[in-house]
Homo-oligomer: A and B are copies of this chain.
Amino acid sequence: MSSESSASSLDPITRLLDITGERWSFLILRDLFYGVRRFDALQKHLGISKKVLSQRLNSLVEAEMLIRVPYQERPPRFEYQLTAKGRDFFPVLVAMQSWSNRWLFSEGEQGALLIHSDCGQPLDTKLICSHCEGSVTPARIRPGKREQ
């Protein structure tokens, strides 16, 4: 149904949202990072309807974020694994989680679920330029217009 994933828009964020733009897609990807890989487990953990879960998984597979892999043959059973493309989505989810922990939780409540193993601290992140390692803030960014 959802029409061939239009490579139409030239805006990167629009194009991303064509793939993961539905709320559930983010949560499915998050669960996969947490290690939840099976249909049944995802459905129970997320509280999503089977229909929508099925649709989202299929579209994520179509988008090559996930692959459907058999984990046993008799009876045939499958799990969903992240592809390289899917794994590289991790920073987006982490950036979301960092922002959320900073702004949406009161002290004493912190929903910090992740620990950075290198330093043992609850995960809080910042973004740096992969070319110069400098910090990336709105003020240090300018549009790189095409022609219009």
Where the two chains meet, the residues of A that have a C-beta atom closer than 8 Å to any C-beta of B are 7, 10-17, 19, 21-23, 26-27, 30, 33-34, 85, 87-105, 111-119, 121-132, 134, 136-138, 140-146
Say how many copies of this protein the assembly contains: 2
Contacts A94-B136, A141-B114 given; indicate if A125 touches B125 (C-beta within 8 A): no
Residues of B within 8 A of A122 (CB): 144
Q: A91-B98, A124-B130 are in contact. List 10 more A-B contacts (CB 8 A).
A: A12-B96, A14-B27, A16-B96, A92-B99, A116-B131, A116-B140, A119-B131, A123-B141, A125-B127, A125-B136
Cβ-neighbour of A21 out of B23, B34, B90 (below 8 A): B23
* A116 in complex: contacting residue of B100, B116, B132, CB < 8 Å: B132
Q: How far is the CA of A100 from the CA of B9 in the complex (A)?
A: 12
Least distance between A46 CB and chain B CB atoms (Å): 9
The 8 A-B residue pairs with the shortest CB-CB distance in the complex, in nearest-first order: A12-B100, A119-B132, A115-B144, A121-B131, A21-B23, A118-B134, A16-B100, A95-B95
